[in-house]
Amino acid sequence: MECIFCKIVRGEIPTELVFENENLVAFKDINPVAPVHILVVPKKHIESTNEIETYDQPLVGEIFQVIQKLARQFGISDSGYRIFINTGGDGGQEVPHLHFHLIGGKKLGKCW
């Protein structure tokens, strides 16, 4: 089965991009759980955190820099936000392509 995020990266599926550079795309989640719910996705297909290699470290660092930028852009940097990654079936991963959720814009409850 073709990866839906790879299709988004290639422009084959329309989405509301909020950021793009040579390595990453970020877009609004189609089923947001908060007023701000953005997915930050590497253009390179990495299935999950289990497949991150040592040579991917600069990419992971760039992801966190982009998340900081987006938090400021969407006005949630000062009030607070949550970043999360789901890995594997038991971890709630639904799309087999590494992605980071940035959520905020409201008081978020505890995760556990």
In this predicted model, what pLDDT tens digit does every residue of 36-56 receive, in sequence order?
A: 999 999 999 999 999 999 999
Q: Which two tokens stand for residue 38?
A: 């953005």
Q: Any bridge partners for residue 40, and if so which?
A: 26, 100
- What pTM value is reported for the model? 0.94
Active site residues: 99
pLDDT digits (tens, 9 = 90+) for 73-103: 999 999 999 999 999 999 999 999 999 999 9
CA distance 67 to 40: 7
What is the longest distance spanned by two Cα atoms in the chain? 40
- H helices of 48-111, in order, are 57-73
CA distance 76 to 54: 31
**Domain ranges (residues) in the chain:** 4-104
Domain 4-104 homologous superfamily, CATH? HIT-like (3.30.428.10)
pLDDT for res 2 = 85
